[in-house]
Amino acid sequence: MGYGVVEERRGRLAHVGHGVIKVDAEAPLHHRLMVLHAELTGVLSRLRPQAVAVEGVFTFRNARSALVLGHARGVALLAAAQAGLAVYEYPPARVKRSVGAGGAAGKDAVARMVCSLLKLEAIERADASDALAVALCHLNQGRAAGLGVGSSGARGKGRRGAAALLADRLSPSYRRPEAR
């Protein structure tokens, strides 16, 4: 599962942190979900976002993969709720457009735009760049609505950003369409 946290500092987008939570693909599902929950709880505690944004559900050809990712998504939503955070959901095409990539853009285009917007050299995993794109989408939505989302001075350490949690690759049988 990828995660990314961004904030707005003095009118500019700023990278707070990102990463990928990896689980043992050979472990039973309930164990993978337990590990995922513990890791997510740690990430939320350490990075202290103001809100959590997730990418909307998309369709799968493999029902089992969709079900397993649904479990992971549920764990992410539970961790956010336990942390007292509001959760927002954005459709994949809106996320891509919000970072300046077209709605049908591939993962490479999204990663390049995220790196450009956040002034990062590179992001090692697509899961993390996708998560950062969702977080940027949330900040942009809040700014457009005049909600003040992303400005300094919120919970802990002056951070007021969006954390995005994206369930991906939790199922050993799931393969991204590009990898086929």
Distance CA 9, CA 162 (A): 13
Residue 61 maps to a domain: yes
Helix (H), strand (E), coil (C) string for 102-127: CCCCCHHHHHHHHHHHHCCCCCCCHH
pTM for the whole thing? 0.80
Per-residue pLDDT tens listing for the chain (180 residues): 899 999 988 888 899 999 999 999 899 999 999 999 999 999 999 999 999 999 887 666 777 777 878 888 899 999 999 999 999 999 888 998 888 877 667 788 889 999 999 999 989 888 899 999 999 999 888 765 544 444 333 333 334 466 676 654 333 333 333 332
List, for residues 4-16, the tens digit of each pLDDT value: 999 988 888 899 9
Residue 180 maps to a domain: no
145 alpha carbon, distance to own chain's centre: 21
**What residue numbers bound the domain in which 101 lies?**
2-175
Q: What DSSP string runs through 138-171?
A: HHHHHHHTT--TT-SS-HHHH--EEEEEE--S-S
**Among 61, 82, 71, 1, residue whose Cα is nearest residue 29:** 71
Residue 81 maps to a domain: yes
Task: Count the domains in the chain.
Answer: 1
CATH of the domain at 82: 3.30.420.10
